[in-house]
Amino acid sequence: MATLLVGFDSAWTPGKRGAIVAAVQQDDGSFRGLGDPQMADFREAENATRKWQAELCPVSTIILLDQPTIVNNSAGQRPVENIVSSCVSLRYGGMQPANTARADMFGKGAPVWAFIDQFGGAADPLTPRLGDAVVFETYPVLALIALGWLREDARRAGRLPKYNPERRKTFALDDWRYVCRMASAAFQERDLVGIARWIDEARDKDRPGKSDQDKLDACLCLLVALHMAEGRDCLMVGDQQTGYIVVPHCPGLQMEAETRCSVTARSAADWVRTFNLRIASQATRLDVAA
């Protein structure tokens, strides 16, 4: 009984394309890639996922989406962004706020809601729905911090790689190649050689484009899904009411998020939690250990 794992770096707005990539976890726990990452808008991502589901008949589909999946606030930041943005800014990164005033991204008719609804809505990482499809929000930048894929800096925390070629003033080719090397190694470890080969080819480009970065971020989303499928501990920051982000567990990142909760008068036990998603290969269900 296979499990379909999808990484989708959406473009957030209508008319734009992000990227999607997928793998399948087989009964023996091994992974098989389903092709190179491809550019995709929301409709194309839905069609690709449906196609994989029809071909594989998976017991479960796990989609890791790089876009907020729960947005109820009309202005400012969501609580999860208020918590993790301090971890990101400490390493010279930035984080966009999500609110419904950004109508093309999070208003009533924003395309993200139709996409999520096709796969059961935003799932609760602590009590996931049994079988079928689940969608979890992740954030590649926070995943880089959780995985420790950082560059040396005067600050002990290090700095985030500047690997977005669209930001010409800050983009560093060496940082791009660094993230590609780390990602390629992670996929190689799981025998996902096709995806690793694509990353290696992207790494060697002298002038990578924004589409290359979108595809790389889709791979990072998929890597979080692989981490989940392997039964490893994951970190959830936020809640099911106001929004959350999930990444691989990292004790240091957890401590930082809990400290931020204390600073902002929040109960860390309510906002920062570790969970472990266990996928039963011989039954149509998902188990979770919190």
Q: State whether residue 157 is helix, strand or coil.
A: coil
Cα 168–171–176 angle (5° rounding)?
140
CA distance 280 to 40: 30
Residue of 126, 124, 118 lying closest to 8 (CA atoms): 118
* Rounded (to 5) percent helix, strand, coil in the chain: 40, 20, 40
Residue 116: the pLDDT is: 96
Residue 286: the pLDDT is: 53
Q: State whether residue 165 is helix, strand or coil.
A: coil
Residue 229: the pLDDT is: 94
Residue 151: the pLDDT is: 97
Strand partners, 32: 24
- Give the orientation angle of helix 210-229 with respect to helix 140-147, to 10 degrees: 60
Residue 281: the pLDDT is: 40
CA 9 to the chain's CA centroid? 8
Residue of 217, 186, 215, 228 lying closest to 3 (CA atoms): 228
What are 101's two structure tokens?
């005033």
Residue of 17, 78, 8 lying closest to 49 (CA atoms): 8
Predicted structure pTM score: 0.94
Summarised one tens digit per residue, pLDDT across range 55-103 is 999 999 999 999 999 999 999 999 999 999 999 999 999 999 999 999 9
The residue with tokens 């979770």 is 288
**Backbone φ, ψ for residue 196 (5° rounding):** -60, -40
Averages of pLDDT over runs of 10 residues in the chain (290 residues) are: 94 90 96 98 97 95 97 97 97 94 94 95 85 92 98 94 95 98 98 98 97 98 97 96 98 98 97 83 46
Burial class, 196, CB count within 10 angstroms (exposed 0-12 / middle 13-18 / buried 19+):
buried
Residue 14: the pLDDT is: 86
Rg (CA), the chain: 18
Q: State whether residue 37 is helix, strand or coil.
A: coil
For 254, the enclosing helix (H) or strand (E) is: helix 251-263
What are 143's two structure tokens?
């995943």
CA 118 to the chain's CA centroid? 18
CA distance 206 to 69: 35
For 31, the enclosing helix (H) or strand (E) is: strand 31-33
CA distance 32 to 20: 16
Residue 128: the pLDDT is: 76
CA distance 79 to 266: 10
Q: What is the DSSP letter of 24?
A: E
Residue 284: the pLDDT is: 39
Helix ranges (H only) for 8-110 are 42-56, 79-90, 103-106
